[in-house]
Amino acid sequence: MRFLLSGYYGFANLGDEALLEIIVAQLRARYPYAEIDVLSATPAETAHDYRVIATPRADLASVKRAIERADVVLSGGGGLLQNATSLKSLLYYAGIIRSAVRTGRKTMIFAQSIGPLDFIGKQTVRECCKGVQAATVRDERSRELLAPLLGGVPVERAADPVFLFDFEESGRRRLRVYDLGPESDPLVVVSVRKTANFTDGIGRIVAAVDRLADLGARIVFLPFGGATDAVASTAIIRRCRSTPLLLPVDDLAGAARLISRARLVIGVRLHALILAVRFGVPFLAVPYDPKVSSLCDDIAYLLPPLWTPGARAGSESDPAALAQRAWEQHDALADALAVAAVRMRELALRNFEVLDALVEGPAPSARR
């Protein structure tokens, strides 16, 4: 059996690479003799790091051959079916689904967040995804958006596969050693990215960081998205009167270990927040995208956002006071997250249970 994975892979984005790592590990555990092919922007690196076959995602002839060789095509995980990034991006991912269905491959929308989609985006998904056999999404909002576009195909609410992360399963690279011993505790991890209205939110993040530093925290910024996140982090650090550190990060296990020992996380990046939930670490979220607000809603998180891009001036809580509230209510927040994490891991496994049913079912016929 041969699986083909289509996602935002090979771009050095730690969140998407975390998705790939967990998905590959789960497929190997369930189908130890299967071949795994990944559409990647850097196929040589992807093949080396994950011990998979990798196809250059920009070479459309190679992508077509990869689809024809596959038995099962998975679109995801991640936020692929949306046109907030661009219509071109949506057409790329939806086109892969369309090609897989037309060539008679078992095709599944896998662990995705759906949207935002405008009218054209919805029509694109509706037309290109006709014939998919299964679909799982990682939040309820996505299920409500996708289900009417797929006709009679059941859309199951699941959760992001990164909720399944375990340190012993993350061994593809040597763990990066950060020079942060016990003297650095209590630790606060910050993961930001440029967003719409980014400059409007810098002051709010700075106020939270400086208040936490006054409370005795050691602040470290982890650029999950590589160089662009490092630039965004630097813009905030330069405004702080405290002295946060900017740490290099290219290793999921290293980033996860830091988050697991943190007292608090400030997160714009979704997967920094998912790892915080996974390890019961309270957080302050910046819902720059519906997928972040959906995560907070799905776990019934007890704190409001630190900042919502585009929010009306004066409509949000004082950031320094909110940071202090998170600090003081740490234990109650951590207890609530520990309960939520158990449920989210169960939902994350549901992606693979739906996949198992698809694999065991009859092969579809090619569509014209």
Reported as a pLDDT band with limits 50, 70 and 90, residue 185 is confident
pLDDT score at 168: 65
Distances in whole angstroms, Cα of residue 80 to Cα of each of 12, 47, 180, 291: 16, 22, 36, 12
Q: What are phi and psi of 283, to 5 degrees?
A: -145, 165
- Which residues does 348 contact at the CB level (< 8 Å), separation at least 6? 111, 158, 159, 160, 161, 162, 163, 164
Strands of the chain (E only): list them.
2-9, 35-40, 53-56, 72-75, 106-112, 134-137, 155-157, 187-191, 218-221, 245-246, 264-267, 283-285
Reported as a pLDDT band with limits 50, 70 and 90, residue 315 is confident
pLDDT score at 176: 47
pLDDT score at 234: 98
Average pLDDT over residues 200-208: 96
CATH of span 182-341:
3.40.50.2000
Average pLDDT over residues 211-234: 96
Q: Is the pLDDT of residue 266 over 90?
A: yes
pLDDT score at 177: 45
Residue boundaries of the structural domains of the chain: 2-157, 182-341
Average pLDDT over residues 345-360: 98
Same fold, 2-157 and 182-341: yes
CATH of span 2-157:
3.40.50.2000
pTM for the predicted model, two decimal places: 0.93
pLDDT digits (tens, 9 = 90+) for 97-148: 999 999 999 999 999 999 999 999 999 999 999 999 999 999 999 999 999 9
Q: What are phi and psi of 280, to 5 degrees?
A: 70, 35
Instruction: Tell me if the bond preceding 77 is cis, omega within 30° of 0.
Output: yes
Percent helix, strand, coil in the chain, to 5, is 50, 15, 35
What does the mean pLDDT of the chain come to? 93
Best-predicted range by mean pLDDT (150-154, 225-229, 351-355): 351-355
Reported as a pLDDT band with limits 50, 70 and 90, residue 179 is low
